[in-house]
Structure 1
Amino acid sequence: MTSQPSPDKDKHPSTTPPPEDDRKPESPAQITRPSWKYALKTTIREFSADGCGDLAAGLTYRSVFSLVPTILALVSILSIFGQGQALSSVLEEVRGIVPTETWDTISPLLDTLLSTPAPGIGLLIGLLTALWAASGYVKAFGRAMNIIYDVPEGRGVIKLTVQMYALTALILVLGALSIVIFVVSGPIAEAVGNAIGLGSVAVTVWNVAKWFVLALIVVVVVALLYYATPNVRQPRFRWISMGALIAIVVSVIATLGFFFYVSNFGNYNATYGALAGVIILLLWMYLINTILLVGAEVDSEIERARQLQAGIEAERELQLPARDTKASDKKAEQLEQQVEEGTNLRLSEGETLEAPSGDASRSDAPGRSDEPGRDTDSAPKVEQPK
């Protein structure tokens, strides 16, 4: 199994089995115990081989640069629907969870962003700019997924950009919807309860139900990242895969545990001083991105186990066709041309990039031998004994 996708890797749809091969087990219950054991072992090995720790660091870098544009985009979307102050209410709730050092670091920035007006055409321009910047994380996540699935990026620049922008916009809309549900739903539920004669009962029920709705939105976002970002045609869209379930549950537990540790035991101020809040935020982002990549590795290795159990040769690489191979085919052709030019440069000893005329190469020409710097015509002749 290789950890880095190469441009010339054969992932054409015509040369690989269909994503939904009838021989594959349909449900996790149909996967045998040895297959589960194999998937667990390969997940651990591939996480290291794919360099997921470094990939998570890269995603954290992209997260930092996408954080401010994402907030701007959410403010713009909420302003369109007259809910510009909804995000402020959510942040007040978050304030009680986030460590004090981190909140003191980011709160001035948040206050500036939330107080920036964006009416009319300015709102549209700001939204498009924020969408462009926020899509950087989604694109980076797609590149990481391609490494995990061992497939080169074959989608062209325009096609890939449009897909990633659309996915980013959908995720932002879902994020804005979750904010509205969290903030505005209480009064709405109370009004509906009074109208139907339930009163406070409706509010109580909704205060519990909204957390399930918010959890559903998180599930959809993770499912979209896992399904739409890599350049592979996966078997089918799963609302909740095994890897996604692990990623979501572990992320929630890890977040609560991390912030509890920082608030009660961590002493980052003594080590990092004024940068303590930034360091805590970066560590949390790195933790979440690492967990997301672990979930992606789990899904890919379960798919490998399904293929092996079905008799498909997937020991070295997954047998999933690429969504598109146009860009990767072009890169492969460019690589072959570069190799050919390098060969010509070597044979001509740095004189030309073009192929030598005739069928014979310089290395086979008279007066040259396989040894560098040795001329067969000038070599001393040894007399044979009579």
Structure 2
Amino acid sequence: MEGAQSSGEPTQDRQDRRVLWFPGRGKPRRFGDLPDGAWKRIAKRTFDQYRADGVTNLAAALTYRSVLSLFPGMVAFVALLGLVGEYPQTFNGVLQIAGSIAPPSTVQTISGPVREVITNKGGAGALLGVGLVVTVWAASGYVGTFSWAANVMWEARRGRSWYRQWPFNVAVTLVALVLATFVLSALVLTGPVARAVGSQLGVGPIALKVWSIAKWPAIVVVVTLMISGLYYIAPNVRPPSWRWLTPGAIFAVIAWAISSAGFGVYIAHFNSYNKAYGTLGAIVTFLIWLWLTNTAVLLGVELDSEIERERQLTVDPGAADQIQLPLRQE
């Protein structure tokens, strides 16, 4: 046993396979090094585990958390832009961006309540403070639920106690909110909104032109960091290495884009929700779109876990029963 541990070989303790870890020797380091037929097996196991892990139910739980986070987050974001003035332009810019990535009925569902809160309550500063507090509380719940779902798919038990999990969730939420604010601001600050804000900040037309070009690669980098970071730190397992962009993250973005586009086409041509639910049809449409979004994100986690299983199977058949990575916390 001591010789196996000193040489870096996995132990044979079958009572807790969670402590087993292959340090990488003998495993394919690049995806192109996987054996023939590996991707076919990965695809099959991903689909099988999608059903076995109840990803649709996990996505429903994340959808609930998303709803709690979205409205106060949007109020806080619009209030933040409102601090620099130009309220109607900033709000309309947010709606325009939302309309480009979500079904039209989703925008209608969001715009009414948010506009009412902004116009009927206090100033932008008060709205920003209240919105941030509620958003951090709600979004930290999303992070905790996502960690639970990721542990299910990585076959890891929950290691953090509640008094450690809550500060972890809040810390991740704060970082994510900073990055998300940058992304949303970059998307909204374009065209007339960018010129209006730039005039108040004393920014010239050349700088605005540079911004309109440079913001897109910056957005790609920030979104990549957000997805990869969440995939890396959410589960209670220690992956072999950090990757800026995993196959699961790429798949999640593609799956989200396809499902959103397909759902948008369905709503535009076969909108039966308004007939079935009446005035609640827009809300039902919005919830389904959020569920599709969270399902795509979780499928990316499932794919990454099955790729790691395939890598481990090249050196030990026992990985078929359980992915063998060390826990972050026992």
Where does residue 28 of structure 2 map in the other structure? 25
- For structure 1, the residue ranges without an aligned partner over 5 or more in a row are 1-8, 196-201, 326-386
2:307 partner letter: I
Contact 1:63 1:285 in 2 (8 A): yes
**Aligned equivalents of 1:87 and 1:10: distance in 2?**
54
Question: Equivalent of 2:157, from 136, 152, 156?
Answer: 152
Larger radius of gyration: 1
Contact 2:76 2:129 in 1 (8 A): no
Q: CA deviation at 1:37?
A: 2.4
**Helix, strand or coil at the partner of 2:318:** coil
**Helix, strand or coil at the partner of 1:301:** helix
- Residues 323-367 of structure 1 deviation map (CA, whole Å, 9 limit, x = unaligned): 101xxxxxxxxxxxxxxxxxxxxxxxxxxxxxxxxxxxxxxxxxx
2:303 partner letter: V
Quick check: 1:55 aligned with 2:58?
A: yes
Where does residue 225 of structure 1 map in the other structure? 230
Quick check: 1:194 aligned with 2:206?
A: yes
Alignment of 1:270-281 (within 5 A): 270-281=275-286
Alignment of 1:176-187 (within 5 A): 176-184=181-189, 186-187=194-195
**Helix, strand or coil at the partner of 1:33:** coil
Where does residue 108 of structure 1 map in the other structure? 112
Contact 1:11 1:151 in 2 (8 A): no
Q: CA deviation at 1:217?
A: 2.5
**Helix, strand or coil at the partner of 1:138:** helix
**Aligned equivalents of 2:71 and 2:127: distance in 1?**
17
Q: CA deviation at 1:140?
A: 0.7
Q: CA RMSD in A?
A: 3.0
C-alpha spacing 1:194/1:147, structure 2 compared with 1 (3 Å): closer
Q: CA deviation at 1:295?
A: 0.9
Q: CA deviation at 1:95?
A: 6.0
Q: CA deviation at 1:234?
A: 1.2
Quick check: 1:261 aligned with 2:273?
A: no
Identical aligned pairs, as a percentage? 34
Contact 2:232 2:242 in 1 (8 A): yes
- Residues 258-299 of structure 1 deviation map (CA, whole Å, 9 limit, x = unaligned): 223212332321121111100100110111111111111110
- Residues 25-55 of structure 1 deviation map (CA, whole Å, 9 limit, x = unaligned): 1111111223222212211111111111111
C-alpha spacing 1:125/1:300, structure 2 compared with 1 (3 Å): same
Contact 1:56 1:293 in 2 (8 A): yes
Contact 2:118 2:127 in 1 (8 A): no
2:156 partner letter: V
Contact 2:42 2:310 in 1 (8 A): yes
**Helix, strand or coil at the partner of 1:32:** coil
Question: Equivalent of 1:164, from 161, 164, 169?
Answer: 169
**Aligned equivalents of 1:83 and 1:302: distance in 2?**
49
**Helix, strand or coil at the partner of 1:21:** coil
Where does residue 5 of structure 2 map in the other structure? none
Q: CA deviation at 1:69?
A: 3.0
Contact 2:183 2:222 in 1 (8 A): yes
Quick check: 1:317 aligned with 2:329?
A: no
Quick check: 1:131 aligned with 2:143?
A: no
Alignment of 1:194-213 (within 5 A): 194=206, 203=209, 206-213=211-218
Contact 1:75 1:84 in 2 (8 A): no
Q: How high is the TM-score relative to the length of structure 1?
A: 0.71
> Runs ≥4 in structure 1, deviation > 6 angstroms?
119-122
- Residues 150-175 of structure 1 deviation map (CA, whole Å, 9 limit, x = unaligned): 11111122221111111111111111
Question: Equivalent of 1:251, from 256, 266, 277?
Answer: 256
Return the structure number with greater helix share. Answer: 2
Contact 1:74 1:172 in 2 (8 A): no
Question: Equivalent of 1:289, from 288, 294, 307?
Answer: 294
1:283 partner letter: I
C-alpha spacing 1:148/1:87, structure 2 compared with 1 (3 Å): farther
**Aligned equivalents of 2:106 and 2:92: distance in 1?**
18
Contact 2:247 2:303 in 1 (8 A): yes
Q: CA deviation at 1:76?
A: 5.9
Where does residue 16 of structure 2 map in the other structure? 10
Question: Equivalent of 2:148, from 143, 155, 171?
Answer: 143
**Aligned equivalents of 1:216 and 1:21: distance in 2?**
28
- For structure 2, the residue ranges without an aligned partner over 5 or more in a row are 1-14
